[in-house]
Structure 1
């Protein structure tokens, strides 16, 4: 049987993209490779080298870090040879010349836009490069005639674990911080328990949330979610698609509180499990907190599991 060669080019993204690679490895007749867009091997030689990159970006519109990444990707592709499918996430971080060269290694170049074009406009410029283009953003799907694709479940609860806290959220420090501060204060006023973590690279003052200065991997986040009963997700302002936090809650059979109003249009939505809140007027009914989780039928959950999700995405 001829092996189907598939290469994923994507950011490491705390390990979320690695789950696609692992799912592909479970299929007979598939030889997957993953090349990360991150550049952990790149290091400035000295302060002069760092300064050189600053001037290179300003004067030549050329980033030495990105050049390093592009060379590494092309070197790996040259080594492994032509691929049946190359699947890219965040291809917009690569320059046009690199994308053109990547395209020479396959007759089937695919991409998944898991951020909207409103957030990263360059995604519009590079649309013509791809033979198949997926997006989780319904506005982009309609405007640019893309194929709709959600994120996926990669971790499921193996057994019921008693919750050690009721509410859980982990976010980076951005415009969502004031919302999380208000949410934490609201939870405290009700006497409920919580673990609301906000990542910032260095210490900073916070009033209600807990600040962390070390980022968590997808596995660490899964462990934290397993110890809660309700996951909280604050939608990015420019985002319509469903974040991984929603699928982490779905996989671990946790209730969800979200500001994403479009979630009511998905087949797994149940008002017993999912509460949509107004970030400017936070109200959480006690009945939602205290009633049990409503099980979702297997036929609804199955397509979202990453091991099944890869089948249509990679034509398996």
Structure 2
């Protein structure tokens, strides 16, 4: 798995701030970058002080934006500033080091001051946005752009919408699993884990999934994570034994164990972007079929109708025959050159444009 063109090079990975880190996406990323041969340092930003909006400058700006500009979003910028002050202190650990690469995930969530300091530590600094750009962070990203040699987004719409940012396109990726070959048994007919999506009927994913589940008679596992902003009381919850509501986060490792032991996984697109979630690449890696409403997947070279069924979840009753057929057919293996293109090894070589790599493209 070691890559000779990357082996021995030093990389500093900076992950998006104020996220729940324990057993999250950053851990398999770090482990895989090390397996490739990179010498990896990771900016440790767990357990920051709780945001309470006590900084006087941010408090005054928040009042001004709320009352004068009728803009209630500055509080998010104040929160961002709070965590970035914490991150700047953490960054001082590396002040005497020099890296070949600095990789910043979700750069729109970091301040220009932080990104400037981070970029000074590396020969090449690249940013990657694997979620939609928050509009109230756009001004900050514009100011930070000059510190990046390369800036990427997984969403073609954002690239077209903000041409001044000069972003290039790049998908998400899959990570390597030493136990991949041991999972030939698919115990679950269907698996889904994800957020509720919102409390309005048209936002609730549990309502969509309840209709979909009518097409499955085998063993299924559907978990809806209820966050503090989208809690349901007992009367609002569906009385369906096939749908479980959970409050604690499921670790990445646990989610992968379920994914690789499933025949079909569900992906529901977030309304504000068209980029492909990690589920597409995880399912590709474990050869698991996928049902999704993200029709842009047809524009990728790995799309096969035998492996990925595109539906409109709001009209799922119109897809009964297609779903029945999809369940019955086997997974179609991908050519090795396509499969390998979406590995984290090829992904990081795309990010920094290092050596011999397969360019990832979108044909839409």
TM-score range, shorter chain: 0.7 to 0.9
Could you state the TM-score of these two structures normalised by the residue count of structure 2? 0.75
1:108 paired residue among 124, 129, 142: 124
Are 2:9 and 1:4 equivalent residues in the alignment?
Answer: yes
The equivalences for 1:54-73 within 5 A come to 57-59=58-60, 62-63=78-79, 64-72=82-90
> Could you tell me which residue of structure 1 aligns to residue 28 of structure 2?
19
Are 2:90 and 1:89 equivalent residues in the alignment?
Answer: no
1:173 positional shift: 2.7
> Could you tell me which residue of structure 2 aligns to residue 75 of structure 1?
92
Are 2:287 and 1:287 equivalent residues in the alignment?
Answer: no
Distance 1:9 1:75 in 2: 13
Distance 1:13 1:91 in 2: 20
Could you state the TM-score of these two structures normalised by the residue count of structure 1? 0.85
1:57-78 deviations in whole A, cap 9, x for unaligned? Answer: 4336654443212211x21221
> Could you tell me which residue of structure 2 aligns to residue 309 of structure 1?
347
Q: 1:119 to 1:296 in 2, by over 3 A?
A: farther
Are 2:192 and 1:169 equivalent residues in the alignment?
Answer: yes
- Unaligned stretches of 5+ residues in structure 1: 45-49
CA contact (8 A) 2:196 2:206 kept: no
Superposition RMSD in Å: 2.8
Please give the secondary structure, in 2, of the residue aligned with 1:280: helix
> Could you tell me which residue of structure 2 aligns to residue 47 of structure 1?
none
Distance 1:106 1:96 in 2: 16
Please give the secondary structure, in 2, of the residue aligned with 1:158: helix
1:34 paired residue among 30, 39, 42: 42
1:113 positional shift: 1.2
Distance 2:52 2:132 in 1: 32
The equivalences for 1:141-180 within 5 A come to 141-142=159-160, 143-144=162-163, 145-155=166-176, 157-175=180-198, 178-180=204-206
- Unaligned stretches of 5+ residues in structure 2: 63-77, 356-364
Distance 1:85 1:189 in 2: 48
Q: 1:70 to 1:186 in 2, by over 3 A?
A: same
2:262 paired residue among 225, 228, 232: 228
Structure 1 runs (4+) deviating above 6 angstroms are none
1:19 positional shift: 2.9
The equivalences for 1:228-267 within 5 A come to 228-267=262-301
Q: 1:303 to 1:52 in 2, by over 3 A?
A: closer
1:187 positional shift: 1.4
Distance 1:96 1:54 in 2: 18
Distance 1:51 1:266 in 2: 44
